[in-house]
């Protein structure tokens, strides 16, 4: 082993040890290089209009596939996983909220941890360049996670880890630090399972491991900016008001999901206990106060009220048939 290799090995141990100390359940490393295969898949997905109204997916294409465009001289891409799995449940009959959104906004929580990790690395190793990303920049985080040996992309489009399932956040740290790369995860453990495909209420999950984002309940309840949800979706939302967990709830690998250890991700009492009537009576001022640090603020009060109105009209339509 060369001196450079030994140094990279030492630096890798430091990165993984400090990541674990900050509460990340997994850490993997890949070499920073262009994602040419992913570029072709993304181009096909966009050309078929599967991003719906998410026009931001079409921007900064070159940045998505080349980490050196985000961090000049990038050598390593570090991927980190942090569980958000919850063992609590919402009050029966209430509008459903995807469990990742039950606690504090993960963008704020994990971005702070990435900054801490960078600071610690710089203190122990020296001056390095690096940028952290949490689902809010042109980074193909699931592809990097697979290359870093942390799992495979399932039929539902989620990264699946054999010991954690898929109920976790993915963070990416791109750096010019030379590290020891992990072996890519080579096997697809979905096998012949079709549970997520068969369970998807809007048939957004296609058989060839493609998810039509323009049909996903999460798209309609979070990303869609229109004042009205298309009528053809009525009766298909299964009471989901913000996001959707159906494909993860039915995934066999989530029997291994680990309860979150992060205090900031503990559920807000209102998320668990609000009834439909309490949600519908929620004023804009109260919404801003209660959910000021919650992912729900992305939909704003107007979006939540729109979603509730759609669920109510869907229920009325079903009761009349």
pLDDT, tens digit (0-9, with 9 covering 90-100), for 144-174: 999 999 999 999 999 999 999 999 999 999 9
Q: How far apart are CA 184 and CA 182, in angstroms?
A: 6
Span 118-126, average pLDDT:
95
* E strand map for the chain: 26-31, 76-83, 96-97, 130-133, 152-153, 159-160, 168-175, 205-206, 210-211, 240-242
Q: How far apart are CA 306 and CA 120, in angstroms?
A: 44
Residue 302 is inside which H or E element, if any?
Answer: helix 300-320
More confident residue, 7 or 1: 7
Q: How far apart are CA 29 and CA 195, in angstroms?
A: 31
> Could you read off the pLDDT of 245-270 as tens digits, one per residue?
999 999 999 999 989 999 999 999 99
- Name the band, by pLDDT with cuts 50, 70 and 90, for residue 78: very high
Span 41-47, average pLDDT:
68
Whose CA is closest to 201, among 290, 96, 103, 58?
96
Whether 135 sits among the annotated catalytic residues: the reply is: yes
Give the Cβ contact number of residue 308 at 10 Å: 16
Is residue 293 a contact partner of residue 112, using CB atoms and an 8 Å limit?
no
Indicate if the pLDDT at residue 227 is higher than 60. yes
Residues 6+ apart with CB under 8 A from 117: 15, 18, 19, 22, 132, 173
Among all chains, which residue has been given the structure tokens 């949490």?
134
Coil, strand or helix: which one is 215? Answer: helix
**Catalytic residue (choose from 38, 66, 129, 135):** 135
Span 205-226, average pLDDT:
91
Instruction: Say what the pLDDT of residue 121 is.
Output: 95
Percent of the chain past pLDDT 70, that is, above it, reads: 89
Cα 83 to its chain centre, rounded Å, is 11
Q: How far apart are CA 94 and CA 187, in angstroms?
A: 39
Span 24-28, average pLDDT:
98
Is residue 175 a contact partner of residue 167, using CB atoms and an 8 Å limit?
no
Give the Cβ contact number of residue 34 at 10 Å: 13
- Name the band, by pLDDT with cuts 50, 70 and 90, for residue 320: low
Span 98-103, average pLDDT:
98
Q: How far apart are CA 148 and CA 144, in angstroms?
A: 6
HSE on the CB side for 296, CA within 13 Å?
Answer: 29
Indicate if the pLDDT at residue 30 is higher than 80. yes
Q: What is the mean pLDDT of the chain?
A: 91
- Name the band, by pLDDT with cuts 50, 70 and 90, for residue 44: confident
Indicate if the pLDDT at residue 19 is higher than 90. yes
Rg, C-alpha atoms of the chain: 21
- pTM attached to this predicted model: 0.92
Instruction: Say what the pLDDT of residue 210 is.
Output: 87
Indicate if the pLDDT at residue 304 is higher than 80. yes
Strands 168-175 and 205-206: unpaired
């Amino acid at each position: 082993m060369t001196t450079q290799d030994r140094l990279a090995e030492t630096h890798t141990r430091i990165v993984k040890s400090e990541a674990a100390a900050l509460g990340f359940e997994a850490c993997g490393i890949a070499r920073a290089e262009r994602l040419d295969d992913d570029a072709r898949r993304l181009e096909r997905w966009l050309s078929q209009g599967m991003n719906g109204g998410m026009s931001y997916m079409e921007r900064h294409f070159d940045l998505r596939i080349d980490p050196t465009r985000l961090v000049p001289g990038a050598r390593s891409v570090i991927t980190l996983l942090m569980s958000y799995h919850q063992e609590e449940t919402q009050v029966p009959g209430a509008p459903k909220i995807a469990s990742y959104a039950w606690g504090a906004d993960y963008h704020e929580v994990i971005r702070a941890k990435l900054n801490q990790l960078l600071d610690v690395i710089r203190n122990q190793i020296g001056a390095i360049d690096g940028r952290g990303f949490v689902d809010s920049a042109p980074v193909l985080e699931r592809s990097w996670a697979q290359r870093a040996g942390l799992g495979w992309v399932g039929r539902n489009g989620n990264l699946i880890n054999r010991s954690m399932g898929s109920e976790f956040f993915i963070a990416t740290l791109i750096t010019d630090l030379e590290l020891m790369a992990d072996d890519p995860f080579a096997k697809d453990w979905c096998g012949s399972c079709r549970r997520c495909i068969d369970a998807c209420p809007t048939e957004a999950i296609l058989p060839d491991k493609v998810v039509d984002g323009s049909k996903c309940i999460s798209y309609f309840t979070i990303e869609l900016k229109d004042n009205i949800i298309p009528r053809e979706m009525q009766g298909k939302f299964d009471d989901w008001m913000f996001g959707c967990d159906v494909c993860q709830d039915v995934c066999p690998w989530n029997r291994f999901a680990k309860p979150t250890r992060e205090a900031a991700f503990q559920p807000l009492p209102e998320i668990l206990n609000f009834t439909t009537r309490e949600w519908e009576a929620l004023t804009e001022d109260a919404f801003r106060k209660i959910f000021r640090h919650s992912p729900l603020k992305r939909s704003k009060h107007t979006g939540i009220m729109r979603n509730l109105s759609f669920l109510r009209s869907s229920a009325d339509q079903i009761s009349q048939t």
